[in-house]
Amino acid sequence: MTHTASLSICSTRLLFPEDIIEPLDANTRVLVHALATQWVGVNVIPKEARDMWAITGISGFMRDTFMRKLAGNNEYRYQQKLASEQVFEQDVERYSIHQLGAQLDIDPSEYDFMTLKSAVVLFILDRRLTKASGAAGVARIITRLLLNAKTGDLQNGELSTDWFHRLCEKLGHTKLDAFFRQWVYGAGCPLFKVNQRFNKKKLVVEMNIYQTQRERKIKPELQPSNFMREAKEQVSEVWAPEVSDPFTGPMTIRIHEADGTPYEHIVEIKDTHTKIEIPYNTKYKRLKRSKRAKERAMATNGMELGGEAENDVLLYCLGDVLQSEDEVKDWRLVDWGKEEEDRMGQESYEWIRMDADFEWIGKIDLIMPIYMYVSQLQQDRDVVAQYEVSSCGLCPSG
């Protein structure tokens, strides 16, 4: 797709017959992006090649914001999660998005990656600014940017990284040097490995958060998707710089305690290893119940109980469609064993969510028993939480 003033030239591959709906969402995103590019990409342009990330990021953020209005918040968050995972998988031995602007002539995939990552970087920037200063998110910054371009305060409509950085700090009322150093001028994404345990004597949840990038320094095997880029980089003698220092910043940890109440805790990630003790709010007591027995009782007698129990019926019956003996046999379903039920009955909390506010690009390996992931799948309504469980949480890890 090529963008010019008031005109975007699109490929005929975007056309599809009425009886095929699969490309509908993807093609709509492409066309919306083309429209957003008229504002930031044609009207506002990069001052230098290395400022191209800001142009592609802002137009991508505008596209995602519109798609949120069109398709809803769940689809919006789901697409952002998919994009974040793609960035994590692809951002190995690559230049930062600030440096990529000078390398776009090497291979078209460089532009595709910069477009992908820059939009996700502005998404997490919006999350952090919104939490720090209320309504002053990236949307307000874009509004001011377009106003300055219209009034001539942005000379020749040329946007630089430094100017955008200052505008974000001015409207966000917070320092963003560390954020830009890591996500704009730096390359790579962090990998977190987290283990946790409940300290009954102190009534705290002890967590160890280990962060690494250097384990991901080995390039992936050559594949059709990256072969040409690797070959052109080899010929052009383009070598990726060393990975960034450990990523730092706030991370929201949400602990659903024994009484079902979610408590949020904001911790500061400052080094490759962060050890924290999170206070426990619910008075500790053993949860002497069989969850599966409660599910069956609710499903069988819940409609007669009325009131609050009816809500529990909807919860515990969610997806409960394989109940007959033949179905259980065909699907090889088994109930929790006595040992697992005893462990479940003594747990102090239901489950833990790392980065609950979606402020990081990376991967988090949280060591947690499988029944905690099941509770998260049953009770957490966040589509990202559902996706995290379906993609990795139901594999035994604890």
pLDDT digits (tens, 9 = 90+) for 84-133: 999 999 888 888 999 888 888 777 888 999 999 999 999 999 999 998 87
Total Cβ atoms within 10 A of residue 299: 15
Sequence-distant (≥ 6) Cβ neighbours of residue 86 within 8 angstroms: 116
Where the chain has pLDDT below 50, the residues are: 217, 286-292, 303, 305, 310, 313-314, 317-318, 393, 395-398
What pLDDT sits at residue 396? 42
Residues near 115 by beta carbon (within 8 Å), at least 6 away in sequence:
56, 60
Q: What is the pLDDT of residue 105?
A: 77
Measured from the Cβ of residue 110, the count of other Cβ atoms closer than 10 Å reads: 20
- Give the domain ranges of the chain: 2-189, 191-286+353-361, 287-352+362-393
- pLDDT tens, residue by residue, 142-167: 999 999 999 989 999 999 999 999 99
> For the whole model, what pTM was predicted?
0.84
pLDDT at 241: 66
Q: Domain 2-189: give its CATH superfamily.
A: Neutral Protease Domain 2 (1.10.390.10)
Which of 2.60.40, 3.30.70, 3.30.230, 1.25.40 is the CATH number of 191-286+353-361? 2.60.40
The string over 19-41, giving b where at least 16 C-beta atoms fall within 10 Å of a residue's C-beta and e elsewhere, is eeeeeeeeebbbebbbebbbbbb
Taking phi first (over 0 means left), then psi (-120 to 50 degrees means alpha), and beta for anything else, what does residue 342 get? alpha
Measured in degrees and rounded to the nearest 5, phi and psi for residue 81 equal -65, -45
Chain segment 300-309, per-residue pLDDT in tens: 555 454 555 5
Q: For residue 390, what is the DSSP state? A: I
Q: Which pair of structure tokens corresponds to residue 140? A: 């307000």
